[in-house]
Amino acid sequence: MAQKPLPDQPVVETIPVAVPRAADKIRRTARELFYAAGIRAVGVDEIVTKAGVTKPSLYRAFPSKDELAAAYLRDYDAEFWQRFEARLDTAGRDNPRAGLMDFLHNLGSRAGAPHYRGCGLSNTAVEYPDDSHPARKVSEHHKQKLRLRLAELAADMGADDPKLLGDSLMLLIEGAFVTGQLFHAGGGPARALAEAAERLIDSHLKG
Amino acid sequence: MAQKPLPDQPVVETIPVAVPRAADKIRRTARELFYAAGIRAVGVDEIVTKAGVTKPSLYRAFPSKDELAAAYLRDYDAEFWQRFEARLDTAGRDNPRAGLMDFLHNLGSRAGAPHYRGCGLSNTAVEYPDDSHPARKVSEHHKQKLRLRLAELAADMGADDPKLLGDSLMLLIEGAFVTGQLFHAGGGPARALAEAAERLIDSHLKG
DNA sequence: CAATATGCGTACCGATCGGTAACATTGTCA
DNA sequence: TGACAATGTTACCGATCGGTACGCATATTG
């Protein structure tokens, strides 16, 4: 449109901006709502309304609410690893302890934020005890990967029992996830996360 | 009835056995279902059906489902402290470390059971992010009490920084609650609970 | 015996749940 | 211009949600 604008009219360039598709809007809105309120607490009507789309659009892009929840967690999982590995990279691959501690310091402070809601993947496992649920499957797979990664890092640090240190660190991390949303005043037990991790790591490097 | 039984008829004594009232049956059934499946996942119809009563009986004893959930958690809280303090007593009040470790060893093994579902109070906080929910209020109050109690025990052990050690132990415990229901194969990270606690306690007693 | 209180069940309510059928509208590209 | 893919519109479905009006039964008490 407006191939030859009249002299006294402003020239309007047609810049092609990527307009978000309905499926993307749904994905993003579901992500926010599911994380903040929990999956069971959010209905599909609320999602499509807040996303500015309609229900058929949701069911054209996702076969069911359960699968939408699984997709939300797959996004969550991807973002988690992106941030996690980024911190390890910043500290340098030759210094896994510093990278992990960077992550833990960050987590410890985030967990004290006013409306912190912990880990969306852990929360989903609490909401859906049944292993057959597609969303829970994503959660379990993620946690198994996290467990292995922590043991790997423990080994890289030179721990005498890497699996034991990795599991110990995982307990601290998951504990920070949960207590973070229980003590939202900022001064919850999660403030002890980094210090406790340091002590545990120390105790495994002394041997 | 049967004041003067005939000679060839068996004597039937009238022993007054406490027949569980409808409210009690509801409370017990709700407890099982809420813990196993989560509060949001269980409808009041399922509760009354499994309890063998009817819906009006539920609403005569409890003003709402939310309040029934709160009652469930108050029961849960009471049982928790009963078992917790019992273990401390068995070990002797002069040996808080042994008592706590007894609790942690027990928790670590329970968390590996096939259908372990963690702590009902923690789970509820995940299910209900809103502080105004009556069930969540019970959960938050319980966790604050647990935090104080752990710091108390840390002080009794002679820790240099009792609050820090208490919070560290709390992270481990909550971590065992949630990972216990994520890795139900028995070999989850919760197996590291006791050992990690020992190391943390040691590190706080060295000073 | 009659009166009353307590405990419980039958049947129902409106609202919301996840999900779908049928069709109109739009923008894109050939 | 015409075909196509994506989205919106509207209306609907059966099931389940939490919650309630009302009446029946039994046991106590005068």
> pLDDT for A54-107, tens place per residue?
999 999 999 999 999 999 999 999 999 999 999 999 999 899 999 999 999 999
Whether the CB-CB separation of B67 and B58 falls below 8 Å is answered with no
Q: Provide the token pair at A101.
A: 């501690």
For residue A18, the model assigns a pLDDT of: 52
Separation in Å, CA A108 to CA A50, A177, A196: 31, 9, 11
The type of residue at B199 is R
Chain B residues within an 8 Å CB radius of A171: 171-172, 175-176, 179, 189-190, 192-193, 196
- From the list B117, B123, B192, the residue facing A171 with the nearest CB is B192
pTM above 0.85, yes or no: yes
Of the candidates B79, B85, B88, B73, the one whose C-alpha atom is nearest the C-alpha of residue B141 is B73
The dihedral through the CA atoms of A175, A181, A185, A186 has a sign that is: positive
Q: Provide the token pair at B189.
A: 């990270």
Q: Provide the token pair at A123.
A: 């929360």
For residue A17, the model assigns a pLDDT of: 44
Which residues, given as ranges, of chain B have pLDDT below 50? 1-17
- From the list A129, A174, A196, the residue facing B200 with the nearest CB is A196
Chain B residues within an 8 Å CB radius of A116: none
Q: Would the Cβ of A97 be found within 7 angstroms of any atom in strand C?
A: no
Mean pLDDT of chain A: 91
For residue A9, the model assigns a pLDDT of: 40
Lookup result for tokens 């003003």: B63
% of chain A surpassing 90 pLDDT = 86
Chain B residues within an 8 Å CB radius of A127: 38, 40-41, 126-127
Which residues, given as ranges, of chain A have pLDDT below 70? 1-20, 207
Which helix (H) or strand (E) element contains residue B125? helix B120-127
